[in-house]
A = this chain, B = another copy of it.
Amino acid sequence: MKVAFIGLGQMGHGMAHNLLQAGNQLTVWNRSREKGNDLVSAGAKLANSPADAVRDAEVAFTMLADDAALEASVFGEHGLMQALPKGAVHVSASTISVALSGRMNHAHREHGQHYLAAPVFGRPDAAQAARLVVVVAGAREAIERCQPLFSVIGQQTFVMGDEPTMANVVKLGGNFLIGSVIESVGEAVALVRKYGVDPRQFVDLLTGTLFAAPVYKIYGGLIVDQKFDPAGFQLKLGLKDVRLALAAGESMNVPLPVASLIRDQALAAIANGLGDKDWSSLSQMAAHNAGLK
């Protein structure tokens, strides 16, 4: 298939690579061009703008850092909205606000194009290994058309419904739950440490039984080891996602008190220098507040 890929960060690069490997005709664009060099060597074309990238595309993926970057690539000068062929599909894989997703959906419909929200779960290594989990929502027919591509970048696809925002809110809900695990495990670990319990034993007990899930193993391990550097996912990005969840709640009048609490802890953590550390360093606040060094 003729595929465009906008955004070659840690996540996007791995996804684009897999799409290319699978035999698709790939055109890529990234703000810093050099990120695309190896893909070009492997057969991809490098475009000068998002608009250039999508001009002949059947499907255009976007995978960008935040609302602002995506908005610029879609609605900005040389953005993809003006150039994507009628009938083609924009697959938005970024973790973005529900509001922007709704706005893109509306605009694409006006332009006779299709729009799918397809955020993914997984860290950069999963993107590279084609082991992402793809959560998609939008018109069923467009989803079916893109399914072969989703199979190339991920291990599983979950279809959430007809409204693209459904996929976005599911992604935000999921990320909020990851934050909840970090915050609650951070508190529990601070508690047991004050009683002299070895936190590794505590986490092993949890993950050996009721809490035997990757999320507790990954973050529980990071919290116990206090290994926050280098960051797998920065605290400030974690805060961004929690804010998007709060905003999604706000526009539908859904209070999310645990998310509010995580937001406040994250702001305190950032104010105290942890913004670039791994998201799991949020647990440092619980430790500090318990008087642990």
Contact of A205 among B135, B178, B201 (CB under 8 A): B135
Q: Is A245 an interface residue (CB 8 A)?
A: yes
Assembly stoichiometry (copies): 4
A248 and B256 alpha carbons, distance in the complex (Å) = 20
Majority-rule SS of A interface residues: helix
**CB 8 Å contact bits of A154-185 with B (1 = contact, 0 = none):** 00101011010110011011101110100111
Q: Most B CB atoms within 10 A — which of A206, A263, A271?
A: A271
> How far apart are the CA atoms of A260 and B243 in the complex, in Å?
12
> Is A231 on the interface with B (CB-CB < 8 A)?
no
Q: Mark A177-206, 1 if CB is under 8 A from B, else 0.
A: 110100111011111101111100110111
A side interface size, CB within 8 A: 77
Interface flags for A196-225 (1: CB within 8 Å of B; 0: not) read: 111001101110111111111000000000
Whether A215 contacts B211 in the complex (CB less than 8 A), given A98-B195, A173-B188, A267-B255, comes out as yes
Q: Which residues of A contact B (CB under 8 A)?
A: 98, 121, 133, 135, 156, 158, 160-161, 163, 165-166, 169-170, 172-174, 176-178, 180, 183-185, 187-192, 194-198, 201-202, 204-206, 208-216, 243, 245, 248-250, 252-261, 263-265, 267-268, 270-273, 286, 288-291
Given contacts A177-B211, A255-B267, A264-B289, 19 further A-B contacts (CB under 8 A): A160-B197, A160-B202, A165-B195, A166-B192, A184-B184, A187-B257, A187-B258, A191-B254, A210-B214, A211-B214, A212-B214, A213-B215, A253-B267, A255-B264, A255-B268, A260-B260, A268-B291, A271-B290, A272-B291
